[in-house]
Structure 1
């Protein structure tokens, strides 16, 4: 047994538990057969769904899609919706054991009548609404509401019970999760499916509007000569209430359809609004809403709708359907649109990456510009500092040169002074020699004076000190004039000593 979420597939041969009978219907990748449970004798419908054998293959249904259908059916238990009894799986198929719905399609049943009153129509529409309300209360959208999927449990009773079938396209709508797809039958799909816009429960309400339009008139509001024209009519909201088809239809019924066939899903009737609509609540009640009034016919009898056109529609619909009851080309178109959407998503990712890369480049350029400006400022500061250093260097060099010149001048001056000193010293030496000679001469004179006779001795003694002083003073002055100051200090001392 394999399990995914709520889906439980029994890995046993369905033939061991059920007797498989005749075929009841078929689809593109499914076939429905009557079966009888061996243990109870109760009859059911066995839906054999062909599994896709590989991801590359286009034949068969992907397992996750089958599991989604089973999960949804396991959540459903309502009188107007087919019920799931059991699930089996073998190598090639998944077999759904479903409630047997043997009354045929609703439209086939109504087309056999000579006429149909609006009261009968509203009763069948109300059953459809009750089933859809149950689905929508669980956030489940059917996405494939059409006459072929509105069956009767038993058509041998005065008021047959409607059963909604085929949940192969049904999805659970999750809040804040965007869901897009192109699927369903073109004649009944909502504009948001055609335009590949986000989908929700509102798509089912559009389909109910189309079904009601056909039920009351026997004409399809958007059906064109080809699928492309049908889709274009839906997208353009190209429909009208032709008097030929709606001459006997009440204005309130038209109001009900108009409020369902609204292009903007947000303005479309919700399931609760539809159930509360006066046409559903009470057919004979006098109502005035949005300027529209409804009343029964003057003779007091219910409005009778001819079913001739409805019969023609059902015959034409069945004859125009391919044997598998699907629109293969439309599904291929849906897959192409999905591929295009994937490509667009990839392009968006590339664009986002490009924008991110562009932002990084701009950030790097900004950083580079800031660094370049900083380097320029630093370079200018260094240049100014170097200029100042060069100026200081030149100034120091000039001072050095000045000092060198001063030193050379001082050296020259010192050399001159040394020369003059040597000259003075030589001169002094010669003067000293002359002075010494003079002093010796004076000494000899003095000695000769001392050697003379008696009377003369006292005169000499009295004369000698004064003469010596005068001689000394004369010698000092002579030396001052000759060599000046300190250079002759030694000579002066010698003179003094000699004196």
Structure 2
């Protein structure tokens, strides 16, 4: 998005062409060429937490879709720039007003004329659906005329703020749009596709031919209930001059099951769209085409553009056009104030809810931390107690080891003394035995035997004495 605001000048009249909840449209002129355009100012959302303005993602989606489209029945994007508060779309100037306002000013409308306008709508939607783009906000306010001062004005589809690219295999759900024109799948929060636009075309066609809205109730809830129940009929009061083919076209669009609803290609091939006068009964073809009265359509458009009671009608539409516009501005201002109040109220409630949730969470966390701290204190005391017992055991073991070491040293000394004493005794005995052998003589067999027996006895005696001494020492 560039920042080329300086290359466009506001129109001298400074006339506001249209406005919405977070967008306004003004006429402007390009300095370099002098060409006039419509500048759509979209208020940017300043933060993720705010509900005022349009998110960056939604604005970029609208710009991306507008950059893809180029068709005679779809508005054209010329340029985009932004300032601190707004993103500004420079769009093709569509100055002919709304289709329904144009038709409401006519005394009557032939079905062939109605078909020609519906055909243009279908052509524009066909182009979008071929690109897998769903408009999702088709309604009379978004069907404009490029120039109304020609016999059959050129239709332009505008406002792609809700449009989405439908991706195969990607489920998309949302609740948006104008209740009077939304499809049942939007009301029921079911997966959405191109079929939702076809339902809206069915509602638009119904209103165009009759001046009555098929599902509009006294309240929003009643309207949505009528849509989900597909509760409508062709009242003879409204459709006495309407052909059966036109009713068939509407019936096949206002179908709850999306699989059974006409696609855009099937709608373009429908006999009511393709025929050129054959829609009338045979006895009517020899006469002038049947004219549909636009009185009810005039009443419908007045009701849509003002806050006056629905039973207020005007004989001269032109005379009250300015009054209706002024009343609409006042009504819109009141609606904006009401929405601002509701938004602030919602924000306050959301903040209170967040505060309560955070307070509950902190309370739970505090209790959990307190419990964990208590458990840690208990475990610490337990470890300290075990540490103390282990220290005492180590000290007792050390003391026992010292005592055993001293006893072992004492036993080793006793053993060494006993060994020396035994060694001395053995040496003395050996000397005695040696002297005895010398005295007895080496050839005397009796002396040798005596010597052997004496030696054996002496060794056994020494072993016994040595063992007893050692055992006695160990018992000390």
* Fold in common (TM above 0.5): yes
TM-score, length basis structure 2: 0.64
Q: For residues 115 and 136 of structure 1, do their structure 2 counterparts lie closer, same or farther at Cα, with a shift above 3 Å needed?
A: same
SS where residue 28 of structure 2 aligns? strand
- Name the structure 2 match of 1:77: 70
Residues 201-247 of structure 1: per-residue CA shift (max 9 Å, x gap): 00000000000000000000000011111001001111000000000
- Residues in 2 aligned to 1:128 and 1:296: alpha-carbon distance in whole angstroms: 30
- Residues in 2 aligned to 1:223 and 1:187: alpha-carbon distance in whole angstroms: 6
- The reply on whether 1:170 has 2:147 as its aligned counterpart is no
- The reply on whether 1:10 has 2:19 as its aligned counterpart is no
- Name the structure 2 match of 1:37: 30
Worse-superposed segment, 198-207 or 17-26: 17-26
- 1:382-421 matches, within 5 Å, as none
- Residues in 1 aligned to 2:78 and 2:275: alpha-carbon distance in whole angstroms: 36
1:303 positional shift: 1.5
Residues 18-55 of structure 1: per-residue CA shift (max 9 Å, x gap): 33532111000001000000000000000000000001
- Name the structure 1 match of 2:306: 319
Q: For residues 15 and 121 of structure 1, do their structure 2 counterparts lie closer, same or farther at Cα, with a shift above 3 Å needed?
A: same
1:298 positional shift: 5.6
- Unpaired runs of 5+ residues, structure 1, are 1-8, 287-292, 340-499
Q: From 235, 260, 269, give the equivalent of 2:262.
A: 269
- Residues in 2 aligned to 1:22 and 1:15: alpha-carbon distance in whole angstroms: 19
1:296 positional shift: 6.2
- Residues in 1 aligned to 2:277 and 2:71: alpha-carbon distance in whole angstroms: 29
Q: From 237, 245, 249, give the equivalent of 2:242.
A: 249
1:90 positional shift: 1.0
- What RMSD over aligned residues (CA atoms) do the two structures have, in Å? 2.3
Q: Is the 8 A contact 1:153 1:160 kept in 2?
A: yes
- The reply on whether 1:137 has 2:130 as its aligned counterpart is yes
Find the structure with the greater CA-based Rg. 1
- Name the structure 2 match of 1:223: 216
1:300 positional shift: 2.8
Q: Is the 8 A contact 1:252 1:294 kept in 2?
A: no
SS where residue 108 of structure 1 aligns? helix
- Name the structure 2 match of 1:307: 294
- Unpaired runs of 5+ residues, structure 2, are 308-327, 351-476
SS where residue 71 of structure 1 aligns? helix
Q: Is the 8 A contact 2:108 2:291 kept in 1?
A: yes
Q: Is the 8 A contact 2:7 2:32 kept in 1?
A: no
- Residues in 2 aligned to 1:274 and 1:15: alpha-carbon distance in whole angstroms: 45
> How many aligned residue pairs are there?
319
Q: From 22, 47, 51, give the equivalent of 1:54.
A: 47
Q: For residues 175 and 297 of structure 1, do their structure 2 counterparts lie closer, same or farther at Cα, with a shift above 3 Å needed?
A: same
- Residues in 1 aligned to 2:281 and 2:191: alpha-carbon distance in whole angstroms: 36
Q: Is the 8 A contact 1:222 1:238 kept in 2?
A: yes
Runs of 4+ in structure 1 off by over 4 angstroms are 293-296, 324-329
- Residues in 2 aligned to 1:96 and 1:170: alpha-carbon distance in whole angstroms: 16
Q: For residues 295 and 71 of structure 1, do their structure 2 counterparts lie closer, same or farther at Cα, with a shift above 3 Å needed?
A: farther
- Name the structure 2 match of 1:154: 147
